[in-house]
A and B are shown apart, each in its own frame.
Chain A
Amino acid sequence: MEMMRKERIDRGVRVRASGLYAISSWREMLYLMGPPLALIIGVILLPFVLELAPYWKRVINIMCVYALLALAFDFLANYVGLVCLGGAFFVGVGGYLSAVFNVYLHFPVYLAIPSATICGAFLCTFLLMPCLPLRGVYFAIVTLMYPLLATRAIEALNILGGTNGITGLDSLPNEYIEHYAIILVTLFFLYAMRRFVNQDVGLVIRGVKDNDQAVRASGISVTKMKAFAVFIAAFMGCFGGAYISHMYMWSGLSMFALDFSIIPMASVVIGGGGTLLGAVIGSFILVPLSEVLRNFGTFRIVIYCALLTGFIVFKSEGIMVYAMRKYHQFERWVKV
């Protein structure tokens, strides 16, 4: 029997578009810039397009919040090596802080959100500090505990509104500001993070994932780098939380809900881990899907989980990596 093997070859345009030659023709430039531009413009135009279906406009915001969380998860898991199962903790901290600033301390919205983001990021980093020397399973387990602990603590101490939560937060001034605040922040963080991981600091953080001993032997404190990475992730998460609390004009125990941990994780797995872009695309797929499945109640979690497991087991590279490969390369069968 003839043996056949699949061979992957770079597309000609990819080769031509590498390096300085990329500016040689419109075709090459389009090849390079097309997909990202399509994404950016598409997302920015989304609120206008969805004027046709107003029900779906709210979904844009939620989609972007999840995209931010997914970015945070992807960054921590695939660039720092910390699997943080407690993304909800960031959301909760951000949401509650913003509520406290807004309702108790009477900060205006545009001050409450940024200050909650920054304070929240510091707070999360500080609280996660003890877990940073942990690795692998241990870190995952402990971070899973954090949102639960926060919920139970708020319940038990009956602080911050107890089980009712804090109500009466100011909403953002108008609908379009509400959309664009989150869309622009998401896009900013997406591309900022993509740059960041290739900067020198980013390389050091990635070094921690590959071989923390060697980083230590290079005279860099691994804990400090991890704390820095957690700070960045918490920053994104807390912004999402603060934003969401103002969107719903309410901050309660459900800010620590499992959804905020599991959907970002699923998005990353489906979108493709380690690409950052995949995280965003994954949540742009999953969140609308979950909206469609709303009628099924908790059954939608079953569907995500099935999807998640399926992707992990059968297509662990994720959509993004797959799509990139198809975009850059073609395949053909050759005889061995």
Chain B
Amino acid sequence: MEILIYGIINSVILAFMALGFTLVYSIARVPNFAHGALYITTGYIAWVLLHKLTGFPYLLAIVIAISVTAVIGALIYRFILIRIRGMEISEIIATYAIGLAILEGLRWGGLRGGTFTLPHFIAGNVQIFGVSVDYQRLIIVGIGIVTFAALYLFTHFNKVGLALRGIAQDERAAMMLGIDSDMTAIVSLAIGSGLAGFAAILLLPLGNIIVEVGYNVLIFAIAVCVIGGLGSWGGTILASFIIGFAQILTEAFLSTHYQMVVALLAIIVTLLIKPSGIFGKQKELEERV
């Protein structure tokens, strides 16, 4: 029972980490390697607001932190990525470099050690089927389900969401229909970064805000997305459940050390069997009649 419950929680956490990355890739076709850095940035901003300004309301801090991250994401696209759009290699290197710069900059700026934590939303535990779970994790699962549903509705029934999907499918055709591709890309980066921040706010209370977490989040996000198939929503959720349960199982039967090994091995094995991921849409051949 414990494995099942914590498996589900862990899977939702992974899905949350991957959400922003998938969104950006599926719409703007930009592999946002700065994802982990944005995640940590949000946590750090929230921490600064809470601890440097006494009595600052938590909710407001969250809102500000997430919006700042979203703006950073948009700025990254507006001033940097826009110039190297379409050159995959450059996009990877540039976003990766930006991410590294942010993370190492934070480390240099004093983000070291275990003193940085965000408070839980509601403290305390509850017993579910005889397993003790804290409220924070329950909130994560709850909000997770709501977020996924909201995003699904947004992309399938909202005008902006549909425009985003249109861009994702065929950029040129969408442009001909009067959708500004750069604008949508900026929006998607902002939303994606905002989601990274949102995930950070939800998940960071579970542990410390440290730079390494940024790298781990990036790795997990990538792992989930690659296994699920880059840019595929269903795949992302399915993959996060696969990895989530695999990790909990290894933790239960081996040791925590192997968690990351499992995630990384899962990527390599998936790619061996099905190079485009579970739900990937990589074309078999570029030309078809």
Chain A residues proximal to chain B, CB less than 8 Å: 77, 83, 85, 130-131, 133-134, 136-138, 140-142, 144-145, 148-149, 152-153, 155-156, 213, 258, 262, 265-266, 269, 296-299, 301-302, 304-306, 308-309, 312-314, 316
- A148–B218 Cα gap in the complex (Å)? 12
Further contacts, 14 of them, CB under 8 A, given A77-B89, A131-B271, A148-B264: A136-B88, A137-B92, A140-B31, A140-B92, A141-B31, A142-B268, A148-B260, A149-B268, A156-B258, A213-B285, A258-B100, A299-B104, A306-B97, A313-B83
Interface contact A155-B89, CB-CB below 8 Å: no
Q: Does B267 contact A (CB under 8 A)?
A: yes
Interface contact A141-B97, CB-CB below 8 Å: no
- A141–B97 Cα gap in the complex (Å)? 14
Contact of B93 (CB < 8 Å), options: A148, A213, A265, A298: A265
Q: Which residues of A contact B139 (CB under 8 A)?
A: none
- A312–B97 Cα gap in the complex (Å)? 10
Contact of B230 (CB < 8 Å), options: A133, A138, A149, A302: A138
- A298–B214 Cα gap in the complex (Å)? 15
- A19–B98 Cα gap in the complex (Å)? 45
Interface contact A149-B264, CB-CB below 8 Å: yes
- A134–B280 Cα gap in the complex (Å)? 13
Interface contact B90-A85, CB-CB below 8 Å: no
- Majority SS at the chain B contact face: helix
Interface contact B257-A155, CB-CB below 8 Å: yes
Q: A309 with B264: in contact, given A138-B271, A316-B84, A316-B90 (CB under 8 Å)? A: no
Q: Which residues of A contact B219 (CB under 8 A)?
A: 145, 148
- A159–B96 Cα gap in the complex (Å)? 31
How many residues of chain B get a CB closer than 8 Å to chain A's CBs?
A: 38
Contact of A130 (CB < 8 Å), options: B96, B223, B258, B272: B272
Q: Which residues of A contact B98 (CB under 8 A)?
A: 305, 309
Q: Which residues of B contact A131 (CB under 8 A)?
A: 268, 271
Q: Which residues of A contact B257 (CB under 8 A)?
A: 152, 155-156
Q: Does B141 contact A (CB under 8 A)?
A: no
Q: Does B169 contact A (CB under 8 A)?
A: no
Interface contact A312-B264, CB-CB below 8 Å: no
Of the A-B pairs whose beta carbons lie under 8 Å apart in the complex, a sample of 7, sorted by A's number, is A83-B89, A85-B92, A130-B268, A142-B268, A262-B100, A266-B97, A301-B100
Interface contact B88-A137, CB-CB below 8 Å: yes
- A143–B236 Cα gap in the complex (Å)? 20
Q: Which residues of A contact B230 (CB under 8 A)?
A: 137-138
- A141–B231 Cα gap in the complex (Å)? 14
Interface contact B226-A152, CB-CB below 8 Å: no
Minimum-distance CB pairs A-B, first 10: A305-B101, A156-B257, A301-B104, A149-B264, A305-B97, A299-B108, A298-B104, A130-B272, A302-B105, A308-B97
For residue A150, give the distance in angstroms from its CB to the closest CB of chain B.
9
Contact with A along B240-261 (1 / 0, CB 8 A): 0000000000000001011011
Chain B's closest residue to A297 (CB) is B108
Residue with the greatest number of chain A CB neighbours at <10 A, chosen from B80, B93, B96, B101: B93
Q: Does B222 contact A (CB under 8 A)?
A: yes
Interface contact A312-B105, CB-CB below 8 Å: no
Interface contact A149-B226, CB-CB below 8 Å: no
Q: Which residues of A contact B268 (CB under 8 A)?
A: 130-131, 142, 145, 149
Q: Which residues of A contact B144 (CB under 8 A)?
A: none
Q: Which residues of B contact A156 (CB under 8 A)?
A: 255, 257-258, 261
Q: Does B265 contact A (CB under 8 A)?
A: yes
- A316–B255 Cα gap in the complex (Å)? 46
